[in-house]
A and B are shown apart, each in its own frame.
Chain A
Amino acid sequence: MKRRQRMLEELDQDLRAHIEIETRDNIERGMTPDEAHYEALRKFGNVRRVQEETREVWSRVWLEQLWQDVHYAARMLRKSPGFTAVAVLTLALGIGANTAIFSVVYAVLLRPLPYADPGQLVIIFQAKPQEQVPFTGINYVNFAECRTQSHAFAEMAANQAHQLTLTGVGEPSVLTTMVVTPEIFSLLEAQPLLGRTFLPEDGKRGATPVVILSENLWRSQFGSDPNLVGRSISLDKRLFTVVGIMPAGFHSLLLTAHEDIWIPIAQDPLFGPWMSRFSGHWLRVIGRLKPGVSLAQAQAEMDAMSAALAKEDPADNAGWQIRVAPLQENIVGESRPALLVLLAAVGLVLLIACVNIANLLLSRASSRAREIALRIALGAGRKRIVRQLLTESAVLGLLGGIAGIVLAYWGVHVLGSLLPADLPRAQTIRVDGWVLGFALLLSIVASFIFGLTPSFFAADSSLQRGLKSAGRSGESGGQRRARGFLAVAEIALAMVLLVAAGLLMRSFTMLTSVNPGFNAEHVVKADISLPQFQYSTPQQWSAFSDTLLERIHEEPGLQDSAMAAPLPLDEGNVNLGFEIVGNPPLPPNTAVTADFTSVSPDYFRVMEIPLLRGRLFNEQDSPSAPRVALISETFARRFFPNQDVLGKQLKFGFPPDGDVAREIVGVVGDVRDISLSEAPGPMMYVPFAQAPFWGGQLVVRSSLSSASAAVSIRKVTHDIDKDLPVTDIATLPETLDASVAQPRFRTLLIGLFGLIALLLAAVGIFGVISYSVSRRTHEIGIRVALGATPASVLRLILGESAKLVLLGLAVGIPVALGLARFLSSLLFEVHPADPLTFFGVAVLLTAVALIACYVPARRAMRVDPMVALRYE
């Protein structure tokens, strides 16, 4: 370092000595001293450049220049605060939106699962290709078989979610309960905060009931009592011993927002008895691959397993394949396309912002042509100029990046409240190091995108032209073309985004205006679930529901009420196989299924589902009366084409009623029960009295406000049993709304991005046209002097703008057509090439572009030829 300093200090002296010797030589050759000195300098070349290049030899120079450039850039930006503010704001918007969306994408799709060696974690599930069943769980018998037989897995565990009621601690509350096999904790390598996790013995039938609590529950309900471990709590009126507390961050399923408690499957009132069943697909199984075992090896082992199971028990297992997939992929699977579309859309917004800033920089560069020409004349190399201008862009980019990060913090906060509740892993969304790194990278990449074109032109502007012209008309044809090109690009990009927004909006309107098959207006629903140890028989369930409905009917304003399990578009549907009595038995593996709902007689009246044929259920359809069923219109059409269905019999139901024949007494209208976007499938209904559940949803059509209806429902329920939890009281329109939360979320965001794109494009066109008007003032002056009318001047300016728009559309429409098909999986009853959307967007863009050039066009029309001509 010292040597560097010494060398550079001595350089000046060295150079001076060199020039002196040359001068003396020249004098000796007979020149005058002045001539001699001049000739020596000429022969030496540019002294400053030599000095600079020599400094560069001593490395750190690069940094020094950078510092100089940054300094200079900051000064230039301060000198034009208007430009700087617009550019930084535009960038901040683009980078902020990208960073916020990236934080969601990162949290949901990219961040590794919060377990040790997450790459080894897989999900093991069953599929039945012949019947288009792509993904279901595995029953306990098959799970246990796989677990003991397999060699590819270090461990395998199963879980399922369910709800139990906690009593004895304040108000009765419903806990999200994970029913698990004991090994799930060691599989996920999770350590308890207090106490222990489950031991293999805890999972055996007949063991003492034990429970593990989440830290959150322990803190909120038990006041962080350190002595809770070892004591008992009451779940569904049965005592469980607390053996451990899991730290707040631990999740075993990752699909629900929170998990309150964990119990062994064997202790669960609902799932415990299912452990010995040979049929059914009810467990979610996860596994940890042994180190060095590939997914393909594990899959090969499971293929052999599927074959063996099918051989052992063909009735239950034939045709079913056990499959293995990475856990992370499985968790985020369905939200991936929508998130990627969002990321692409927001990326387009940033690109438009960059193009806009490039355009701004370009106009600035031409007004700075003189300054740059001067710098070149003073010996700055072209590379040096480009570097200087790129540094300016980078400073601008970083400023925008910093402002963008601030915006992103705010944006993530806002996004948090907009996010659909069913987005997996949404609770982990935050601005962290990776997200900040992404923002930084974006600002640098953005600086290059918007900085490169203008600096290229700036460094290229020729010396004389730059010095001669006062900067006003110092724009080359190439520059003008570049500017037009940028405006066209902006319009084309905006077109793509607006088409996406338009398609999604049309699709969302279609989705929300689709007839669900029932009338949700003025209907309130409440979930009521009965503790299963206390209410353990179907008779008790049925009796409870009768009492409840009776008491509810006595309440003023709540006369129209009914029970259903499950409710359409709520928490899930129940799909059951059935058999038509009298039809020849179906060949194996071709079972037919329909969605199943158990309802009280008034259900159809409350929901306003029309009766098409026959009769509805009534009070006479009691447990002792002949079994009856109602079917939906689609059911009748699909399975009884051109037949009279009334009087036909179906066999279906839950054990022990699985094989009971039920007579079809009527046909009701179709209902969309799975989602609004899915066409109604066949449905079958049974009277609640003949197929009761341990609870269900109460639906009430009432003119009361939902709040006062809720108060009455709670009061009546607690009058019957003070320990019964009533949860999820909501209006049906709210439930419908929640069912379209994901499409609403993406439509809203892409709509917002489209709007930003439209604004940016308008600003871009405004910039180009006003610059062009100011450049053509002289020409317009001549035209006016020669007799052009204001109308023809207007036509001139509008024509220029229209040319840009038409070119933009000509590029944008095919690109949008090409890209729209990536949206098709997100669209409902709208074709990706929907002509109405494309036409509408084209009209909108044209209109906005014409409005954007209104101000410059007015200025052009008011050009006074005298002033304009004198000006140059």
Chain B
Amino acid sequence: MSTKEQERRIELLQGTLDLLILRTLLLGPTHGHAIAKAIEFRSDDVLQVEQGSLYPALHRLIRRGWISSEEGTSENNRRAKFYRLTAKGRKQLALETSKWDKLAGAIAQILRPSEQEGKP
């Protein structure tokens, strides 16, 4: 991996990772590896998840009751743990998303005021 590529990647803040996991699980229950891949893929590889760090986050979400886990079988027929969004988690995701949008909008406004004004 080149240094340039490393620079392009952004380390995730805790909390943000939680949000991304919830968002990924909105598409349906899946296992840990798939979640990691989905986050990398959907962000065009910009967001770097050290895959291991997913697990403490998953357990944290389980503890809060936002996701649940069940036994399942992966694509290549291995037993794996599948994570599923709970109703509570769905509500939380909506809440967090709107919060995130507001925050992102606010930061963007501070960082790029001219662009915002330049728009018709």
Contact = CB atoms under 8 A, between A and B. Distances in A.
B80 interface: yes
Interface string B57-72: 0011011000001000
Interface in B36-86: 36, 50-53, 55-56, 59-60, 62-63, 69, 74, 76, 78-81
Contacts of B99: none
A18 B59 contact: no
A45 B31 CA distance: 18
A14 B56 contact: no
Q: How large is the interface on B (under 10, 10 to 19, 20 to 34, 35 or more residues)?
A: 20 to 34
B55 A17 contact: no
Contacts of B78: 17, 20-21
A50 B74 CA distance: 22
Given A10-B81, A17-B80, A44 B50 contact: yes
Nearest to A21: B33
B55 A21 contact: no
A57 B64 CA distance: 10
A154 B33 CA distance: 78
B107 to A, nearest CB: 28
A54 B79 contact: no
A54 B55 contact: yes
Contacts of A22: 33, 51
Interface in A8-35: 10-11, 13-15, 17-18, 20-22, 24
Contacts of A56: 56
A58 B63 contact: yes
A10 B33 CA distance: 15
B19 to A, nearest CB: 17
Contacts, number: 68
B56 to A, nearest CB: 4
B74 A17 contact: yes
A14 B80 contact: yes
A15 B53 CA distance: 11
Contact of B52 (A7, A21, A46): A46
| Interface SS of chain B | helix
Contacts of A15: 52, 55
Contacts of A10: 69, 81
Contacts of B50: 43-45
A776 interface: no
Nearest to A8: B59
A44 B59 contact: no
Contacts of B69: 7, 10
B33 A17 contact: yes
Given A44-B50, A58-B63, A18 B76 contact: no
A221 to B, nearest CB: 72
Contacts of A14: 32, 55, 80-81
Given A17-B78, A54-B56, 20 more contacts: A7-B59, A11-B55, A13-B79, A14-B81, A17-B81, A21-B33, A22-B33, A22-B51, A24-B76, A43-B50, A43-B51, A45-B53, A46-B52, A47-B52, A50-B56, A53-B56, A54-B55, A57-B60, A58-B59, A58-B63
10 contacts: A7-B59, A13-B79, A14-B80, A15-B52, A18-B31, A18-B51, A47-B52, A50-B53, A57-B60, A58-B63
The 4 A-B residue pairs with the shortest CB-CB distance, nearest first, are A45-B52, A50-B52, A53-B56, A45-B50
